[in-house]
Copies of this chain bind each other. A is one copy, B any other.
Amino acid sequence: MKGVIVQKYGGTSMGDIERIQNVARRVVEHKREGHPMVVVVSAMGKTTDHLVDMAIQLNPNPSAREMDMLLSTGEQVSISLLAMAIEGMGEKAISLTGAQCGIKTDAHHKKARIESIDTERIMEEFERDHIVIVAGFQGISDLGDITTLGRGGSDTTAVALAAAVSADKCEIYTDVDGVFTTDPRKVKEARQLPEISYDEMLELAKLGAGVLHPRSVELARKYSVQLVVRSSFNKNEGTRIVEVSKLEKVQVRGVTADQDIARISVSKVPDTPGVAFQLFSQLAKQNIHLDMIIQNLNHEEHNDISFTVPNDDLVEATSIATAFAEKVGGGEVIIKKDVSKVSIVGTGITGNAEVASLLFGTLSELGINIEMISTSEIKISCIIDAQSSDLAVTSLHNAFDLGLGL
């Protein structure tokens, strides 16, 4: 028997009846090559927006549990329609909700994490020669409540299932050809990468490249899932995500910009031990992902603390920061929304002085002020003014010679 293939199709790929038929044809092709198939799908195109819109009209602040109940229907519609389309082409298929597919999560609605996958039902369906169609983005809590995995959750579902059934590979189908050196909608010289390491992909994903959700890349790395990102609209090879050792050479792999963040600053925080911890632990308790954190020592007895958060978490983070400032007798809480985090990504670049110098030099020549800097093993990120974001990306892409050489 050939190895299992897991495929994931996003909302654009499932956008209308014709596209669902296109997806069905692709799935059937792979099945007829002899592979047991698991297909993970998202909600059709604008379905989720429509549901959210109705919800907000009824209650501007709906409970997370009820939002999960509502939004999970989008994927349920997709799986049943795709199963029908495949059956119409003469192959056997069965659709499974997250719950039916054994995807157990914690009870953190809207941001649930997968705790375990019971593959019994999938294995039974393989024995019946069924193509298994799974609702992405959702699971079930111990209480029996429907949960959703948050943004990009369908990628996570696909990778987790690929790990659970020891799939040969996990193909993420999307509306672009693969992973690019930078956003091809903004920089026409952007070049598609044939391969990239998990760690690099992880940084690109976290930095808003938008092709793959970081949690899915983390999972793929952890369980060594063979991941491929490719287009559902053509037959191009896409981008393989591989181990570092398999890469040709170490280099700057891409430039990204993430404007979906905001900077929060709390001024004049008393400089006593553990005071910052109070703030950050409060934020962590609400599952708010803190990205960059900077404490500016004011040479007096207090600091300014600045950090960035995703825009989605801004309201909650602001209220936590405000409560914190009052409690510790800090100063103002200042929000800056029009910021962009521009980053260069590539294994080993942080240790390379030339790379850093070219980065800072390029921005400096453009007269762009760097508000915050953070680095990891494989990336350097700068918070700059949102207005300068596109210019910075294009210039860096050019400076690091990442383009097609047009």
Contacts and interface: CB of A to CB of B under 8 A. Distances in A.
A59 interface: yes
A80 B59 contact: no
B67 A100 contact: no
Interface residues of A, number: 40
Interface stretch (A83-91, A237-245, A289-297): A83-91
A79 interface: yes
A70 B135 CA distance: 12
A76 B66 CA distance: 10
A88 B58 contact: yes
B95 A66 contact: yes
Contacts of A62: 84, 87-88
A175 B208 CA distance: 50
A67 B80 contact: yes
B63 A84 contact: yes
Given A73-B77, A76-B73, A95-B66, A57 B17 contact: yes
Contact of A69 (B54, B61, B87, B95): B95
A55 B81 CA distance: 6
Nearest to A16: B54
A95 B63 CA distance: 11
B20 A58 contact: yes
A145 interface: yes
Nearest to A24: B58
B69 A76 contact: yes
Chain A binding site: helix, strand, loop or mixed by DSSP? helix
A21 interface: yes
Interface in A56-115: 57-63, 65-67, 69-70, 72-73, 76-77, 79-81, 83-85, 87-88, 94-95, 97, 99-100
Contacts of A100: 144-145
A335 interface: no
A172 to B, nearest CB: 23
A24 B57 CA distance: 13
Nearest to A60: B88
Contacts of A21: 58
B69 A51 contact: no
Q: Looking at A21, A66, A87, which has the most chain B CB atoms within 10 Å of its CB?
A: A66
A79 B84 contact: no
Contacts of A87: 59, 62-63, 66
Given A21-B58, A100-B144, A70 B63 contact: no
Interface in A241-281: none
Given A55-B80, A63-B87, A66-B80, 16 more contacts: A54-B81, A55-B84, A58-B81, A58-B88, A59-B85, A61-B88, A62-B84, A62-B87, A66-B87, A69-B83, A69-B97, A70-B77, A70-B81, A73-B77, A100-B144, A100-B145
6 contacts: A63-B83, A66-B95, A67-B80, A69-B80, A70-B84, A100-B144
CB-CB nearest 6 A-B residue pairs: A59-B88, A70-B80, A69-B80, A73-B73, A59-B84, A62-B84
